Amino acid sequence: MNLQSVSIEQLKQVISIKEEIAKLEAQLANITGGKQLPVISTEASPVKKGRKKMSAAGKAKIAAAQKARWAKVKAKAPAPAQSVTPKALPAVKPAKKRAKRTLSPEGRAKIVAALKKRWAAKKK
């Protein structure tokens, strides 16, 4: 509040309101026996920034749930094969490797032409 722009009437109102607040605080002190009561604000409390803390119980629940998920995954995994004599194994053919894909000369020419066209448009 800028005191230079305040009129005398407004200053008188400010003083009377301050006096009224002082009287009410004295009455409140008499009622509560001089104990300070927490101030209740009508404004919205400011938002706290920072990390939220998790209780130990919450952490334990999360850990237990994760362990249960891993146990379920491990239960579905196939068990490691027992040592078996080579004669008992059926003949397994090795998987065929896919042929490496190659680009035809026509396809490569189309890509080069498209790139040259794009670069020419950018240079304009």
Residue 17 lies inside a defined structural domain of this protein:
yes
**CA gap 65, 70 in Å, rounded:** 9
Q: What is the pTM of this model?
A: 0.28
Residue 53 lies inside a defined structural domain of this protein:
no
Overall domain count for the chain: 1
Whole-angstrom distance between the N-terminal and C-terminal Cα of the chain? 59
Residue 9 lies inside a defined structural domain of this protein:
yes
CA-nearest of 28, 47, 44, 46 to 36 is 28
Domain that holds residue 21: 3-32
pLDDT in tens, 46-104: 766 777 788 999 999 999 999 999 999 888 776 666 655 555 556 667 777 888 888 99
Residues 6+ apart with CB under 8 A from 111: 103
**CA gap 91, 85 in Å, rounded:** 13
**CA gap 24, 27 in Å, rounded:** 5
- Locus of tokens 């362990």: 67
- The secondary element (H helix, E strand) that includes residue 24 is helix 8-32
Phi, psi of 35 (to 5 degrees): -75, 140
Calculate the average pLDDT of the chain.
Answer: 82
Residue 92 lies inside a defined structural domain of this protein:
no
Please answer whether residues 37 and 28 qualify as being in contact, where contact means their C-beta atoms are separated by less than 8 angstroms. Answer: yes
Residue 82 lies inside a defined structural domain of this protein:
no
11-15, 34-38, 81-85: the lowest-pLDDT one: 81-85
Residue 46 lies inside a defined structural domain of this protein:
no
Residue 55 lies inside a defined structural domain of this protein:
no
DSSP 4: G
DSSP 7: -
Residue 24 lies inside a defined structural domain of this protein:
yes
